[in-house]
Structure 1
Amino acid sequence: MIVNYNGNLIEDSLLNLGVENRAFKYGDGIFETIKVVNKKVIFWEDHYFRLMASMRMLRMKIPMEFTLEFLEEEIQKTITTSESSEIRIRLNVYRKDGGLYKPNTNEVDYLIEAKELKASSSKSEYRIDLFKDFYNYSGLLSTVKTTNRMLNTLAAVFAEENDLDNCVLLNERKGVVEAINGNIFIVKGTTIKTPAISEGCIKGIIRKKVIEILEKNEDYSIEETTISPFEIQKADEVFITNAIKGIQSVTNYRKKEFKVDIASKISKNLAVLTFTS
């Protein structure tokens, strides 16, 4: 696999990240997961501005060349040799090597990985449950996609051990935050709720797009609010959103079975928005 390290294309087996790498040592890095379809970088502006906001929040020095156009060109350069119609991009940005907790510099390196997405058939059942071993603490730092994903990793192990497809993460107030790999929406009647950013969820790109779609739809009302796990049990539908899958309907939560009708309608609207934006 070819990766792009600071603008240089290298075989991944030849890439040498040293023991002083801060993303490895301290989780001192952030990343964007981006989908490319037929060479088009999907919702690129939204990903770019989220990346810039995250870098500013983490006091990283944004290089002068880090323009919208520059980074898109670097992504396109990375996928030049790929013949796949759908590609998963991970754009990593982390502080340069050196220092202990206090870094030697706030300047950054970047690494772009590209992996071909294989077609996968949708599962007829998609089961979730709560992950209660550890909490995702509310606050602005939790809204940033840092390279510290230990909570998500432990939840994914728990899901595997319990024959689940995903888990719901909770904050210290035991409110619903998000799923392991995406934001969560809960449907009850014509009201659709998703955890507010203040609950500690990632500022998901597809989350943002779904909210925009629903705000223009007079048939439904969208609320960004606090959600208790009890509301999942009472919901008509539940779905999860992320940049790669788009919208994933949940069919089962414990003994509760959900419909998938509204998520299917929103998926169609999202597909239109994806290729007209």
Structure 2
Amino acid sequence: MINTNGELVNNEQASLSVFNRGFAYGDAVFETIRVIKGKLMFWEDHYFRLMSSMRIMRMEIPQNFSPDFLEQEIKGLLEAEDLIDSPARVKFTVYRKEGGFYRPSTREIGYVITATQLQDPFYLLDESGYELELFKDHYVNSGLLSTIKSNNRAINVLGSIFAEENDYDNCLLLNENKSVVEALNGNIFLVKGNEIKTPPLSDGCLKGVLRGKIIEIVKKLPEYKLVEESVSAFELQKADEMFVTNVIIGIRPVSKYRKKEYNTTVAKTLLSRLNMMARLG
């Protein structure tokens, strides 16, 4: 089942117009949410990021788009899909209604919600080999638009093809200043001694919900110092540890970048606290 503008329809019956602006122009934003037994993890953070993304894209936010309304829309779909008691991945996409060519003729929106089952309810640490390389064919533009989750994912698609063709598990993206911004599917953190470093939003990295949670956790650990500063490619080979974060995988340790191999000590510490936060929050 799929929720299309509040109506539950079978997958085979769900459709979008070829003139849909999300399809035609990437005029859409989305949230990917992890659900555990009907509980939307970090829902408040997802909700406010969605509202912020819609404002940045100058979409009209309907008056009924309250946290409770959207949560019930999602849970209604989970019940229809028999996923209310299972771990699940929900994608909530908001698009501007069709009309106009490059210049939209409306600010009104429509939405689509999909849900798929996940295997594990909480985050597990995958310590298998995970090798990264820089993707240098195209660059992320630093600035506000790059921080939101929109349908404009061309660089991520091309980077994933590059990774597949060259037998890498993931790639790191650079901005126009040649600073390392993020991975193809999440934010990055580097560990050097007691310092945990992540690129700032001003460099163009995604304003990830898990990024915010990891920052929140690290700030409460007196033995570590959090730094939000630009990351150079040169620093990657000096780090003790590197990991990728997003709301579906949680924390994914990187095992290798070029000749540099990393450990997973800090990732293990943070993952246990992240799962505790997920259970309580």
Which TM-score tier does this pair reach, normalised by the shorter chain? Answer: over 0.9
Identify the residue that residue 280 of structure 2 maps to in structure 1.
Answer: 276
SS at match of 1:130: strand
Identify the residue that residue 236 of structure 1 maps to in structure 2.
Answer: 240
Q: How far, CA to CA, are the matches of 2:87 and 2:155 in structure 1?
A: 28
Aligned length: 276
1:145 equivalent to 2:149? Answer: yes
Q: Is the contact made by 2:125 and 2:251 (CA closer than 8 Å) also made in structure 1? A: no
Deviation, 1:117, is 1.5
SS at match of 2:12: helix
SS at match of 1:134: strand
Deviation, 1:54, is 0.7
Deviation, 1:118, is 3.2
Over aligned residues, Cα RMSD in angstroms? 1.2
SS at match of 1:135: strand
Identify the residue that residue 28 of structure 1 maps to in structure 2.
Answer: 27
Identify the residue that residue 118 of structure 1 maps to in structure 2.
Answer: 119
User: In percent, how many aligned pairs have the same letter?
Assistant: 51
Identify the residue that residue 58 of structure 2 maps to in structure 1.
Answer: 59
Q: How far, CA to CA, are the matches of 1:121 and 1:71 in structure 2?
A: 31
1:261 equivalent to 2:265? Answer: yes
Q: How far, CA to CA, are the matches of 2:276 and 2:136 in structure 1?
A: 37
1:94 equivalent to 2:95? Answer: yes
Deviation, 1:52, is 0.4
Identify the residue that residue 5 of structure 1 maps to in structure 2.
Answer: 4
1:205 equivalent to 2:209? Answer: yes
Deviation, 1:121, is 8.7
For 1:188, which of 184, 192, 205 is the aligned residue? 192
Deviation, 1:123, is 5.1
Greater displacement, 260-269 / 83-92: 83-92
Gap runs ≥5 in structure 1: none
Deviation, 1:91, is 0.3
**Cα-to-partner distance string for 1:221-265 (whole Å, 9 max, x where unaligned):** 001111101111110000000010111110111111100010110
SS at match of 1:12: coil
SS at match of 1:99: coil
SS at match of 1:122: coil
Identify the residue that residue 129 of structure 1 maps to in structure 2.
Answer: 133
Moved over 4 A (4+): none
Deviation, 1:116, is 1.0
Letter in 1 for 2:77: T
1:82 equivalent to 2:94? Answer: no
